[in-house]
Amino acid sequence: LKIALLPGDGIGPEVMDQAVKVVNAVAERFGHKITYQEAKVGAAAIDATGLPYPDETHQVCLDADAILFGAIGDPKYDNDPKAKVRPEQGLLLMRKKLGLFSNVRPTFTFPSLLHKSPLKQERIEGTDLVFLRELTGGIYFGEPRGRNEQGTVAFDSCVYSVEEIERLARMGFEFSQKRRKLLTCVDKANVLATSRLWRETVQRLAPEYPDVKVEYEFVDAVAMRLVQWPKAYDVLITENLFGDILTDEASVISGSMGLMPSASLGTENKLFEPIHGSYPQAAGKNIANPLAMVLSAAMMFEYAFGLKEEAQVVSDAVNASLEEGVATEDIAEEGRSYSTSAVGDWLA
């Protein structure tokens, strides 16, 4: 099994190290042979090569059976709206060039961490939902985008084709069939032409999946209900920008951003990444929570290699660490926190 390692920026490298320890431990136990190739992306790549997603990195990704990715972003680029090259472009290029059209973001709770959530326990206990966020279309990539000549007007374009919507929607129906058989299509069909095409396409496909109940909800309503009663949802499908906002909102349910993994799936390539960002304030301090990255590796075993048992032992280890209180400061009990690498060692 060939894994590409793209640690990226900020805390990316530190949390990646822990994922690698865990993957190695699993490989040893189950007798898999794993080889790694590391490559740069984001600010790390800009600093080294001038480009946020260099060709060498792309080649490493193409050659791999799965890609583990850490995080991207550096504050020195954020408040400079005129910066020509930005780390995030690396992430967007990577998604686009690897055809990673579906970002799978589960949200669930850990019994031992329910009290950490800003939401009341009875509202979130048992939450088990998964977003499928379209990842290579919409306003993230639509043309034209830019400014008029005088620089006084800016514009972006949101564009979706039926094919783009259909492949994501079909994945949503299939996920639902393996779960609680409820699919929620999240859009803004009362305002946007693209949303109406989403809704129409999902309506057209629905009869092919008669066992799945389909609901249509506006994005603003979902932004509310997600906090009010997240248990109402099973599988949610949505376009790129709505998915960006709602999945980050949903991550709060579990009590910490540092916990939620994700998979970005394409026809050929599969990438796994924590949903948290590069958290630059914590970089190099050995305090960042590695669990989202480790759980992303668990998703890799399942979604890229079809190795469910391997995925399960990783999740079990994470649960055990939480129950034992082997946790970084963001989720540890007062005065009992472990370092990033100590958590990684324990899990491995």
Catalytic residues: 140, 188, 220, 244, 248
Footprint of ligand IPM on residues 175-214 (CB under 6 A)?
Answer: 190-191
Q: Which amino acid is at 82?
A: K
Nearer to its own copies, 194 or 296 (CB): 194
Binding residue for its own copies, selected from 1, 27, 51, 227, defined by CB under 8 A: 227
DSSP annotation of 310 reads H
Find the shortest distance in angstroms from Cβ 212 to its own copies.
16
The binder of 153, among ligand IPM, its own copies, none, by C-beta within 5 to 8 A per type, is its own copies
- CA separation, residue 286 to residues 13, 65, 131, 328 (Å): 10, 29, 30, 9
Shorter beta-carbon distance to ligand IPM: residue 19 or 317: 19
- Cβ at position 344, least distance to its own copies in Å: 25
Contact between 88 and ligand IPM by CB under 6 A: the answer reads yes
What six digits make up the tokens of 50? 């001038």
Confirm or deny that 248 is annotated as ligand binding: yes
At closest approach, how far in Å is the CB of 105 from ligand IPM? 9
Give the number of other Cβ atoms within 10 Å of residue 307's Cβ: 18
> Choosing among ligand IPM, its own copies, none, which partner's interface includes residue 309 (Cβ < 5 to 8 Å by kind)?
none
Is 78 annotated as contributing to ligand binding?
no
Per-position DSSP letters for 189-257, written without gaps between them? TTT-HHHHHHHHHHHHHGGG-TTSEEEEEEHHHHHHHHHH-GGG-SEEEE-HHHHHHHHHHHHGGGS-G
Closest to ligand IPM by CB, 35 vs 190, is 190
Determine if 251 is a binding residue for its own copies (CB under 8 A): yes
We find the least distance from the C-beta atom of residue 72 to ligand IPM, in angstroms, to be 6
Consult the annotation and say whether 133 binds a ligand: yes
220 annotated binding-site participant: yes
Residues in the chain: 348
Tokens of 127: 């939450």
- Does residue number 220 form part of the binding site for ligand IPM (CB under 6 A)? yes
Long-range pairs, 110-115, Cβ under 8 A, ≥24? 110/254, 110/255, 110/259, 110/319, 110/322, 112/319, 112/322, 112/323, 113/254, 113/255, 113/256, 113/259, 113/322, 113/331, 114/255, 115/255
C-beta of residue 175 within 8 angstroms of C-beta of residue 167: no
Q: Which amino acid is at 341?
A: S
Give the DSSP letter of residue 114. Answer: G
Binding flag, residue 40, its own copies (CB under 8 A):
no
| Ranges within 86-145 binding its own copies (CB under 8 A) | 86, 88, 92, 118-120, 123, 139-140, 142, 145
Size of the site for its own copies (CB under 8 A): 62
Reported as type and span, the H/E element at residue 136 is: none
Of the two residues 154 and 178, which places its CB atom closer to its own copies in the complex? 154
Residues touching ligand IPM, count (CB under 6 A):
8
Residues 264 and 61 sit within 8 Å (Cβ to Cβ): no
- Binding residues vs ligand IPM (CB under 6 A): 72-73, 88, 91, 190-191, 220, 244
- Binding residues vs its own copies (CB under 8 A): 73, 78-79, 81-82, 86, 88, 92, 118-120, 123, 139-140, 142, 145-147, 152-163, 188-194, 196-197, 199-200, 203, 216, 219-221, 223-224, 226-229, 241-242, 244-246, 248-249, 251-252, 257
